[in-house]
Amino acid sequence: MGALHEGHLSLVERSRRENGATLVSIFVNPTQFNDKNDLKNYPRTLKEDSAKLEAAGADFLLVPSSRELYPDGYAYRVQEDRLSPLLCGASRPGHFAGVLTVVMKLLQAAEADRAYFGRKDYQQYLLIKGMAEAFFLKTRILSCPTVRESDGLAMSSRNLLLSPEQRALAPALARTLRTAKTAHAAARELRRLGFAPDYVEDRWGRRFAAARLGKVRLIDNVRL
């Protein structure tokens, strides 16, 4: 969805190593936002993103409009019922239907052999991989490690919205997920530090969390 950082560019780098051509899509997808203010405030930096992608060696940039991607007005959509209600889906109804629908459309348009997704959005990766397999898509869905800042904060476009004080505190999210003995203890510690946890849960051999710092919702997961 743009506001590219080194995590995104690491996907481009891997794609270039493994393929003859690399295409990147940028589209701030309105159907996956529950909060209109979140959509309105989401960083949009297309000029800077284009320059970064050119420097990184991407071959193509696809920047579709809402009219092009949703000529039906989002009447048709992809719905998943097992993983979607968990974690981020529990507090964001309809979020993953928006994600899966737009990714299905982008994969169909690109007709790529492989598509690369970061593990920071691990639930999203599992859902997209499952969708591609369920609908016999030709594209193989691959995951790549989460790229972090030097202080351990997972790189995210939303980090741009943090105040200096919030940015100084934000690395405690990943640190707490790693050091707490249980998910319950991690949630308690995050609240003590000043986070507002949405959830902290252990699933699929990983510890997942979503927590707010002010108005910014951060997500992360670490391997147990």
Give which of 99, 37, 45 is closest to 69, Cα–Cα. 99
Distance between CA atoms of residues 174 and 154, nearest Å: 8
Phi and psi at residue 122, to the nearest 5° = -70, -40
Distance between CA atoms of residues 132 and 143, nearest Å: 13
95 catalytic per annotation = no
Crossing angle of helices 6-18 and 46-56, rounded to 10°: 40
105-120: b (≥16 Cβ within 10 Å) or e: bbbeeeebeebbbbbb
CB atoms within 10 A of CB 60: 11
Per annotation, catalytic residue among 5, 8, 95, 184: 8
Distance between CA atoms of residues 157 and 162, nearest Å: 10
Query: Length of the chain in residues, anyone?
Result: 224
Active site residues: 8
